[in-house]
Structure 1
Amino acid sequence: MDELEVDVAVVGGGACGAMAALRASADPALVVGVFEKSTREGCNAEISSGSLAAGGTRFQREAGIEDSPELHAREILAASGDLANSEVVHALCAAAPEYVEWLADELDYPMEIAGDLPRAGMSVTRLHTDTGRSGGRPLIQHLRAALEERDNVAFVDEAPAVRLTHTGGVVDGVVVAQNGGELRVHAETVVLALDGFAGNPALMKEHCAHLGDPFYGGVSTSTGDALPWLSEVGAELRHLGACLRSGLVVVGHGTRVSPSLPFFGAVLVDLEGRRFVDEEAQGYSKLAGILQHLPGQRASMVWDDEAHAATSDSEMMRETTRAGGYRTHADERSLAEALGLPEETVRAALQPHPGRRPLRAPYHHAWVTHGVLTTQGGAVIDTVGRVLRPDGTPVRGLRAGGGTAVGLAGPESDGYVSGNGLLSAFGMGWLIGNDLAGR
C-alpha cells in the first residue's frame, strides 16, 4: 500500500472541507491534504442556493439592518429546541459574519445582503449571496480555486475515503482509494467533512422511515460513509432522524420554487382548493411534513407577476423556469380549470390574509410536493469540531463538520431554518481550520 504523510487530512472537498483546508493552510508550516470523493458527482453545497445566513455583517449595517450573532443564535435555537447544542450554535453564529466578510474582502467573492430572500424564522433579512444569485456551485469552485494557489495544500480528486486508522483510541490517519489501489494517509489530525446519508436508501429506511417516500434532491455521493467509522471510534451520534426537507419540490421536474414567494403574496392550495397553512409562517423543511400528509402529497403554489419579478433572479426559480415547471393563466377561470376546481373556490382561496397584498392576474402556478435534500444528524462535536464520545471526551486526532456532524435542526426536520446547512458547514470549517492554524 502506498503511503503519504500530511499534518491535516481533510476528507471531503465541499463547503466544510474546503473552508477548513483554506483556514488551516494559512499556517505555512502545516501540510494539508484534501481527499474528495468526486468533484464530477458534486457535493450538496454546490446544488444549494449558496445563501449564507449571518447576523451582524457590514452588509447588513450598510442596508440599515440591525442584527447580531446573538439574535441569530437565539432564533435558530427557538426553532430547533436543541439547547444541548447551544454552545456550538453560538460559536457558528459568531463566526458567520467573519467568514462572510472574509469571502468578500479576502477572496474577492461578489457578496451582498439579499433583500429579495426573506425567510420564515428570521426576524430580519439575514441571507447573503453573490450578486448574480448563481447558487452554490460558483462559490465552491471559488474556494477550490483559492486552495490551488496554496503551496502547502494538495487537493486529490476521485479519492474516496475507505476507513480511518487509529491506534490506542487515537485517530492517526485515513485510507483512501486511488487509481485502483489504496493510499494510507498518515495525519496528526483527520477532518471528516463528508455529506450525510440521504442518498443511501438503506440508511434512510433505518433512520428516516417516518418521512415517507420523498423525492430525493441531493447528490449521489451522500451515502453515509462516515457513520461506521464514527461508531468504531466510539463517537456519539445524535438526531439521525432529522433532515433538511423541502415542501417546494416541483412535481415531475425535481426543481424547486423560491421560499420567498409567500412573502410576496403567493398562496398554497390543496387538491380541494383549501388554503391549509399560513404560507409566510412555515419554513420549507416544516412545510414538507405538512405536504406529506395532504391528499396526493401535493399542493399548488399560485403567484402573480409581481411576486415572480421579485423572486425570478434566484437560481432556484431560473432552473424551474428552464424546466417548464410552472404554467401561466390569464384569469381565475383558466386557473380554476388547470386546478380542476370551481372558479368560486379558487377565488376564495386567492383572498389575501389581513395585511397582505392580493394577487392579480395573470397567475402562475406549480404543483409542489415534499422532498429530502440532506440529513441533519451525525457526530456530536464541540465548538472547534472535536468529535465527542457519550461521556463528553474527545476522540483524539479527529474533527468533523458539514454533513458528518450533527446539524442545527434539532431532533426533528421541522426545526431547520433556511441557511442552517451552509452555516454549519462553512462555520465549522472556519472554526476547525482556525483552531488547527493556531488562530
Structure 2
Amino acid sequence: MSGATMAAAPAISREIPAAPDIETDVLVIGAGACGLTAALAAHDAGAEVVVVERDASPSGSTSMSSGFIPAPATAAQRAAGISDDDAGRFAADIQAKAKGTANEALVALAAREIGPALDWLADAHGLEWQVLTDFLYPGHSRHRMHAVPERTGEALLARLIAAVEAAGIPLVTEAHAQVLHLDEAGTVRAVTLARPGGGRETIACKALVLACNGYGGNPELVARFIPGMAGALYYGHAGNTGDAVLWGEAMGAARWQLSGCQGHGSLAHPHGVLISWALMMEGAIQVNAEGRRFSNEHGGYSEQAVNVLAQPGGIAWNILDGRLHAFAQGFPDYRDAVAAGAIREAQDIPTLAAATGLAESALRETLETTAEFAAGRKADPFGRDFTGRPSLQAPFYAVKVTGALFHTQGGLGIDESARVLAEDGSTFPNLFAAGGAACGVSGPDISGYLSGNGLLTAIAFGRIAGNSAASLRH
C-alpha cells in the first residue's frame, strides 16, 4: 500500500461497529499488483469486492519496480520458443539463490501458481505479456522474465488498474486502513479507515486480504529486523510502513523471516534512477572510488547493495561501453537516467577518469585486467566468468550509483490458501495476506533474493488470496 506520510499506528480492536458505512464480501487493503490481482480473482470467483488505497492515486512499490515477473510454463514463454521450463526447475532456482533457506512450501506454491496466474490475467483481463529473451538475470536458468510491452512497473500497475475498472470493482483512494475489528474468535468483522479531512469510515467484510506491502518505509522496524540496512537509502514507497506486520504482532500472528529483504546495488546517485542489472550480466563492471572492482557483479543485485555500501562513501561507478549503452536504450529507466544527466560519456580512458574523478592509472589497470579475463587468459579472483562477452571498448559510459533497500521480504506466515497463521499454527478464520504483507520466498538474508521474487509472490499469492477470500462470501 502506498502513502507518503506517517499516520496513526495500525491497531486492533475487539469492538465491532454496530452500523458500518459499507458492507462487502471481500475487502482488499492495498492497490498495488498484489491487491489488484487479489481483487480480480475474488471478483471472478463471484464475490463483491472493495479495494482501499491510502494514496490519492495508486502507485506504491509496483510502480517503482521494473515490472518484471518470473514465471515458468506460460503461454508467452512457449510462444517465445521456451518449452523446457517448469515449476520444479523454477523452485530449484529460487532455493539455490536462497541457499535452501526459503520456506519450502511457499517456494513450491509460488513456482506452481505464478504461470497459471499470468495466463489468467492475459486470458481473462487482457494483460499482454512479453518474455525477455535478450539476457538472463542472475540465478535464473531459463528465460522466464515476463513484462508488459512498456517494460515498466508503472505500466504494469496501470494495466491492472484498467482491468479492475473494467470489472467494475470499486477502488477507494485516500482511504488509510487503521483499525482491524476482530471478534473473540479472531474473525475480522470490519476495518476502520481514515479519510481526508479527518473523517473516518468503517467497512464490514466477510473476508479481508492484506496486500499492504512490507515495512521498508519504517526506519524503526528496519533497524529492528534488518540492522545491516539501517540507515541505507530506501528506494521503496514511503507508505510501506509495516501495517501488516504490526497488526500481526498485535493479534498474535506468525511472522516469518522478517530479516529477508531486497536491496539493489545500482541506483543512480543522486538522481535516484534504477540502472538495470542486465548491463552487468552483459559485460559492464562496477568500480569503487579507487577505480577498482570489489566483487563478483554476477552474484546478484540484491546483495550487491551491501557490497556497494561497504565501499568508500557508499558509492560505486558502473562502467560500460558503446555496445552496452545501445543495449540499455531498451530500458525506460536507463533512458530516464540519460535524460537526467546521470550517464557520463568518455571517448577514452583519460576522459573517463576526468569524467568520473577516478584515478586514470587504476581505471586503465582495471579495464586491461578485465579484458584479460574476457579473453580467457586470466581468472577473475572474485569468481566472475567474463568469457562469452566482449571486453569493454571505447567509447565508455559511466554512472555513479549507490546501494539501496528496495523492499522487505519477510512477513506474516500464511498457509497454501494464503490464510494468515497464528503463532500456535492455527489459522485466522477470514484473514488472508499476500505480496509484501506475507512471508516471501527469499529466505532470511538479503543475498537470497532472486530477481523478480517481489512481483512473483504479489501476483501468485494475490490470486490465491482473492480466490480463498471469495470462498467465504456465503
Shorter chain as denominator, the TM-score bin is over 0.9
Counterpart of 1:129?
Answer: 147
SS of 1:248's equivalent in the other structure is strand
Q: Residue 54 of structure 1: which of 61, 67, 71 is its match?
A: 71
Counterpart of 2:251?
Answer: 233
Counterpart of 2:457?
Answer: 424
SS of 2:125's equivalent in the other structure is coil
Matching of residues 236-247 of structure 1 within 5 Å = 236-247=254-265
Contact 1:41 1:220 in 2 (8 A): no
Q: Residue 210 of structure 2: which of 192, 198, 202 is its match?
A: 192
Which is worse superposed, 190-199 or 316-325? 316-325
**Structure 1 runs, 4 residues or longer, greater than 6 Å off:** none
Contact 1:42 1:221 in 2 (8 A): no
Query: How far off is 1:41 after superposition?
Result: 6.3
The question of 1:364 aligning with 2:397 is answered yes
Q: Give me the whole-angstrom Cα distance separating, in 2, the residues matched to 1:181 and 1:438.
A: 32
Deviations 1:91-131 (A, max 9, x none): 11111111222333332223211123421111121211122
The question of 1:201 aligning with 2:219 is answered yes
Counterpart of 1:163?
Answer: 179
Query: How far off is 1:83 after superposition?
Result: 4.7
Query: How far off is 1:244 after superposition?
Result: 1.3
Counterpart of 1:295?
Answer: 312
Q: Give me the whole-angstrom Cα distance separating, in 1, the residues matched to 2:89 and 2:58.
A: 37
Residue correspondences, number = 435
Counterpart of 1:89?
Answer: 107
Query: How far off is 1:318 after superposition?
Result: 1.9
Query: How far off is 1:56 after superposition?
Result: 1.6
Contact 1:116 1:310 in 2 (8 A): no
Q: Give me the whole-angstrom Cα distance separating, in 1, the residues matched to 2:45 and 2:78.
A: 32
SS of 1:45's equivalent in the other structure is helix
Q: Residue 102 of structure 1: which of 117, 120, 143 is its match?
A: 120
SS of 1:320's equivalent in the other structure is helix
Q: Residue 150 of structure 1: which of 167, 171, 188 is its match?
A: 167
The question of 1:73 aligning with 2:91 is answered yes
Q: Give me the whole-angstrom Cα distance separating, in 2, the residues matched to 1:249 and 1:209.
A: 21
Q: Residue 18 of structure 1: which of 36, 39, 50 is its match?
A: 36
Counterpart code for 2:36: A
Query: How far off is 1:437 after superposition?
Result: 4.1
Deviations 1:135-190 (A, max 9, x none): 11222122222222334x32211111011111112222211123432222221111
TM-score when normalising by structure 1:
0.94
TM-score when normalising by structure 2:
0.87
RMSD: 1.9
Deviations 1:167-217 (A, max 9, x none): 112222211123432222221111111021111222222222321422221
Deviations 1:254-309 (A, max 9, x none): 11211000122111112222222222x22111100111212221111100111122
Q: Give me the whole-angstrom Cα distance separating, in 2, the residues matched to 1:32 and 1:311.
A: 41
Distance 1:137 1:366, change over 3 A: same
Counterpart of 1:272?
Answer: 290
Deviations 1:19-76 (A, max 9, x none): 0110111133x21111111143621011111111101223222333321111111111
Counterpart of 2:365?
Answer: 348
Counterpart of 1:224?
Answer: 242
Counterpart of 1:390?
Answer: 423
Q: Give me the whole-angstrom Cα distance separating, in 1, the residues matched to 2:311 and 2:262.
A: 19
Counterpart of 1:4?
Answer: 22
Query: How far off is 1:410 after superposition?
Result: 0.8
Q: Give me the whole-angstrom Cα distance separating, in 1, the residues matched to 2:45 and 2:276.
A: 40
Query: How far off is 1:342 after superposition?
Result: 4.3
Which is worse superposed, 211-220 or 7-16? 211-220
Which is worse superposed, 99-108 or 6-15? 99-108
Name stretches of at least 5 consecutive residues in structure 2 with no aligned partner: 1-18, 377-386
Q: Give me the whole-angstrom Cα distance separating, in 2, the residues matched to 1:94 and 1:315.
A: 30
Matching of residues 322-333 of structure 1 within 5 Å = 322-333=339-350
Contact 2:28 2:50 in 1 (8 A): yes
Q: Give me the whole-angstrom Cα distance separating, in 1, the residues matched to 2:358 and 2:247.
A: 53
The question of 1:262 aligning with 2:295 is answered no
Q: Give me the whole-angstrom Cα distance separating, in 2, the residues matched to 1:436 and 1:228.
A: 21
Contact 2:410 2:438 in 1 (8 A): yes
Deviations 1:314-336 (A, max 9, x none): 12212212211110000111112
SS of 1:44's equivalent in the other structure is helix
Q: Give me the whole-angstrom Cα distance separating, in 2, the residues matched to 1:382 and 1:208.
A: 24
Contact 2:62 2:153 in 1 (8 A): yes
Counterpart of 2:300?
Answer: 283
Distance 1:39 1:77, change over 3 A: farther
Deviations 1:370-391 (A, max 9, x none): 1111111210111221111222
